[in-house]
């Protein structure tokens, strides 16, 4: 069935490093945009400077992602940093004794190596603040002119035990390159359940911008914005090469419709790449695709959805996964036959073994 489709709301965003470790997740985006641009140069000549050709070049694909919630992972990645335990300024209430002594519960640190450990004690009653020296054990003594036997709010630089996470903004920032996956919701007015599937934009190589802005206001909530630019990625796996022709890509846009079957809208079959010539002993992979009547799009056939046969298996054999093995000189016809479609569809290519 052909649905009327509408891409709605904002996506969930997932970023992975080159080892496929999760770098950050954006689940509460407030807005997102994808901008594809392409430069062009007109080639003109003849009387009237006629347009002879247009050369297209300098293609770019840019992303803007803004998360409503505070997202430390997104900010760290955009400046090329990792998240680790962070020391921070702690603040706690302490009741000092009649002699003016008190003890903080945290682990005081000097902000810089070789500097004394300082803190600032604020009188809860008057708001007066006194600078105090704190020992490594956390004890301190108020100046003689400070009121005693009462509560103070003490602020000091503390070692992180469990609560602090940090990332560093290097003076020479090198933004991370990540794999970005943007997962959108796809809806339709043609079915009761409304949601019919999803659209994923998969960016194998995304260079983060290295820049971000944190805006805060008395009546607002800070968001986490980042930008990224897709880098050219050359497919490497047999499946990627079959799907993309081995040409560099910026992204793949995948539409996934739920409750569909392999047979939906199929009108033909093809084998990617066409005829093949191989030396004896060589191997290669082929992939079969079903052609649909949805703008003549293609569905990659899984092993359970297609049967491969060789008309001369002594010349070249083929497995259920589409692996061709060149055995001896000659030629054979490889046929892909659809499974689960009535009537079935076939596609053929010629394999020459030299």
pLDDT score recorded for residue 170: 92
Tens digit of each residue's pLDDT (9 = 90 or more) over 337-349: 988 777 888 999 9
Asked whether residue 226 falls in the same domain as residue 270, the answer is no
pLDDT score recorded for residue 315: 94
Asked whether residue 76 falls in the same domain as residue 210, the answer is yes
Please report whether residue 45 resides in a domain.
no
Gyration radius of the chain over CA positions: 32
Please report whether residue 337 resides in a domain.
yes
Omega of the bond leading into 354 within 30 degrees of 0 (cis) = no
pLDDT score recorded for residue 303: 80
pLDDT score recorded for residue 43: 97
Omega of the bond leading into 343 within 30 degrees of 0 (cis) = yes
Q: Are 51 and 43 in contact (CB under 8 A)?
A: yes
Tens digit of each residue's pLDDT (9 = 90 or more) over 153-177: 999 999 887 778 899 999 998 999 9
Q: Model's pTM, two decimal places?
A: 0.67
Asked whether residue 175 falls in the same domain as residue 77, the answer is yes
Q: Is the Cα dihedral 195, 197, 199, 204 positive or negative?
A: positive
pLDDT score recorded for residue 150: 93
pLDDT score recorded for residue 294: 62
* Dist. CA 316–CA 201, nearest whole Å: 38
Q: Are strands 276-278 and 346-353 parallel, antiparallel or unpaired?
A: parallel
Please report whether residue 46 resides in a domain.
no
The owner of tokens 């103070």 is 152
Please report whether residue 48 resides in a domain.
no
Give every residue of the chain whose pLDDT is below 50, as ranges: none
134 sits in which H/E element: none
Could you list the residue range(s) of the whole structural domain that residue 28 is in?
A: 6-40+53-81+171-254
pLDDT score recorded for residue 3: 67
| Final residue of a structural domain among 166, 190, 222 | 166
């Amino acid at each position: 069935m052909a649905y009327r489709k509408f891409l709605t709301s904002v996506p969930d965003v997932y970023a992975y490093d080159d080892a496929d470790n999760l770098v950050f997740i954006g689940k509460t985006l407030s807005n997102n945009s994808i901008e594809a641009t392409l430069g062009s140069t007109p080639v003109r000549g003849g009387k009237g400077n006629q347009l002879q050709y247009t050369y297209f070049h300098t293609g770019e694909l840019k992303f803007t992602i803004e998360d409503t919630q505070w997202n430390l992972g997104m900010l760290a990645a955009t400046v090329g940093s990792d998240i680790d335990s962070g020391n921070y300024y702690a603040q706690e209430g302490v009741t000092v004794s009649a002699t003016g002594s008190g003890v903080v519960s945290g682990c005081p640190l000097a902000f810089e190596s070789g500097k004394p450990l300082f803190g600032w004690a604020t009188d809860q009653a008057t708001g007066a603040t006194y600078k105090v020296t704190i020992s490594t054990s956390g004890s301190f003594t108020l100046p003689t002119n400070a009121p005693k036997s009462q509560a103070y709010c003490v602020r000091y630089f503390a070692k992180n035990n469990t609560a602090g996470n940090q990332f560093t903004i290097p003076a020479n920032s090198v933004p991370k390159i990540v794999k970005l996956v943007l997962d959108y919701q796809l809806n339709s007015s043609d079915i009761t359940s409304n949601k019919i599937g999803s659209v994923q934009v998969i960016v194998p190589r995304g260079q983060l911008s290295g820049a971000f802005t944190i805006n805060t206001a008395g009546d607002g909530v800070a968001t986490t914005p980042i930008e990224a630019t897709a880098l050219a990625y050359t497919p490497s796996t047999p499946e990627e090469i079959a799907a993309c022709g081995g040409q560099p890509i910026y992204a793949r846009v995948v539409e996934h419709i739920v409750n569909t079957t392999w047979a939906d809208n199929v009108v033909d079959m093809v084998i990617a790449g066409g005829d093949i010539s191989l030396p004896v002993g060589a191997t290669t992979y082929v992939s079969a695709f079903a052609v649909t009547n949805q703008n003549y799009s293609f569905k990659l056939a899984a092993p359970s959805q297609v049967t491969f046969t060789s008309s001369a298996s002594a010349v070249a054999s083929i497995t259920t996964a589409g692996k061709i093995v060149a055995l001896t000189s000659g030629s054979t016809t490889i046929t892909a036959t659809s499974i689960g479609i009535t009537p079935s569809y076939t596609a053929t290519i010629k394999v020459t073994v030299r």
